[in-house]
Amino acid sequence: MSIVQTFIVPHPPLIIPAIGEGRETEIQATIDAYHEIAREIARIKPDTIILTSPHSAFLPDYIHISPGESASGDFSQFGCPKVRMSVQYDSDFAWKLSLLAESKGIPAGTQEERDPSLDHGVLVPLFFVNKYYKDYRLVRIGISGLSYETHYELGICIAEIAEQSDKKTVFIASGDLSHVLKKDGPYGYQKEGPAFDKQVTDIIRSGKIHEFLDFPEDFSSRAAECGLRSFIMMAGSLDGRNLVSKLLSYEGPFGVGYAVGSFKPEQDVVEDEYARLARMSLEHFILSHKKMSRPKSLSPELTQKKAGVFVSLKIDGALRGCIGTVAPTTDCIADEIIQNAVSAGTEDPRFYPVSKEELDQLSYSVDVLSPFEKVSSTDDLDPLRYGVMVTYKERRGLLLPHLDGVNTVDEQLEIALRKGGIQPHENYRIERFEVVRHQ
């Protein structure tokens, strides 16, 4: 069963009445939104809650997943030891997640625990959840100094474990936004603070959660945020799914930004891994102007095999770009997709480069080519099954199989010859190939 719903929440201790002593009413919208999501979680009745917190174990090069069967914590450091709680962990989920992360080369697991007690990034969300629902087990995950992409890839692993399970799973990403919103706030003011919070709340409203990956790290640092990597891990758990998103509240009266958001997948159809990689590559390049590194969470089919690859982009069924390689030019299919997706979106001479505004309109297909076979007769061709490449001297033209409007061998050859600048009377060579299409 896949992840049913995810939430972004803040964790100000003063929201707890015994700590706020009346000041919590200054963020009443946040409190109201918290109750709303807690009621939603009670309606879902999840078996497992994944909760990421920037105040759990933080290591520079390792993402910590809390081990064991249970844990407890209280608000002693905020002068309120009597408000405490205990949770039962979903140790099976944590164990499977650790194994999957290790198999994919992601530095994450249950090692190096230093303080098993629940931190306030966990306690605050559960304070509200437990008012309405307690019949769950928890998977508690920290963040690290590792890259945004590594946290996103662990989120993909979380989704994979959830999909293999028969349990309902909810993901809560705990994290405050900027801490530098006001001159009279506890951390002062930086112009990046309000700008950061606006970008985050815009993403929550739009549901374009992949854009969490595109914050420059120096900008986020100057904004003094604490929740971004938590949000990114959550985004990874929803990778490739259509979302209904909602910003339930945003406040910052004390100089720290508090946002509550909800993300619900529209359907349980998961995007094909090949097409997803093409989408991630082009989006990353358009938004950050940098080539994406190969994710560590890919299947061996993508990382251990080589092939020529074509990436095609469409908007409303109309071609928007198509670039490919007839034979492998990189170390593996994954690298071929990453390279050719960027080329399809930015280098196809028939089109202007894809803009940021078009990203959400694009559909992707990835054709992985088989080795080429020489043919001696057009009787060996079939435009539905085989693509064709024609070659004369240094000129060549290629056409993929199963294209709209190409129904006969003569039509297929005519287009391929035209693309290669080859005349029909020239003594050209014909080769055929098959493709596996992912879209």
Res. 266: pLDDT tops 80: no
Q: How far is CA 432 from CA 324, 325, 404, 407, 423, in A?
A: 16, 15, 18, 16, 19
In the block, residue with structure tokens 């946290």: 151
Residue 407 pLDDT: 85
Structural domain boundaries in the chain: 3-265, 273-438
Of residues 100, 210, 103, 209, the one with CA closest to residue 157? 100
Cα–Cα dist 174/8, whole Å = 6
Res. 110: pLDDT tops 80: yes
Res. 268: pLDDT tops 60: no
Residue 377 pLDDT: 83
Residue 379 pLDDT: 87
Residue 2 pLDDT: 80
Query: 191-239: per-residue pLDDT in tens?
Result: 999 999 999 999 999 898 988 998 999 999 999 999 999 999 999 999 8
Residue 239 pLDDT: 87
Query: Would you give the end-to-end CA distance of the chain in angstroms?
Result: 23
> Rounded mean pLDDT of 283-301?
85
User: Which CATH number is correct for 3-265, 3.40.830.10, 3.30.750.24, 3.20.20.70, 3.60.60.10?
Assistant: 3.40.830.10
Residue 12 pLDDT: 95
Res. 401: pLDDT tops 60: yes
Please indicate whether residue 142 or residue 24 has the higher confidence score (pLDDT).
142
Over the Cα atoms of the chain, what is R_g? 25
Residue 400 pLDDT: 87
* Residue 87 · residue 128 · CB < 8 Å: no
- Does the structural domain 273-438 have CATH classification 3.40.190.10? no
Q: How far is CA 150 from CA 143, 293, 362, in A?
A: 10, 10, 25
| Residue 67 pLDDT level (bands cut at 50, 70, 90) | very high
Residue 271 pLDDT: 66
Task: Find the angle CA(217)-CA(221)-CA(225) to the nearest 5 degrees.
Answer: 110
* Residue 209 · residue 203 · CB < 8 Å: yes
> Rounded mean pLDDT of 54-59?
91
> Rounded mean pLDDT of 360-389?
88
Range scoring the smallest mean pLDDT among 48-52, 219-223, 324-328, 340-344: 324-328
Residue 405 pLDDT: 82
Residue 267 pLDDT: 61
- Whether the full predicted model's pTM is greater than 0.85, yes or no, is no
Centroid of chain to Cα 43: 26
> Rounded mean pLDDT of 300-320?
92
Cα–Cα dist 226/375, whole Å = 61
Cα–Cα dist 33/41, whole Å = 12
> Rounded mean pLDDT of 101-117?
90
Res. 297: pLDDT tops 80: no
Res. 99: pLDDT tops 90: yes
Token pair listed for 245: 């998103």
Query: 7-49: per-residue pLDDT in tens?
Result: 999 999 999 999 988 888 899 999 999 999 999 999 899 999 9
Residue 199 region by backbone torsions, left for phi larger than 0, else alpha for psi between -120 and 50, else beta:
alpha
Average pLDDT value over all residues in the chain = 91
Residue 270 pLDDT: 57
> Rounded mean pLDDT of 347-354?
94
Residue 153 pLDDT: 93
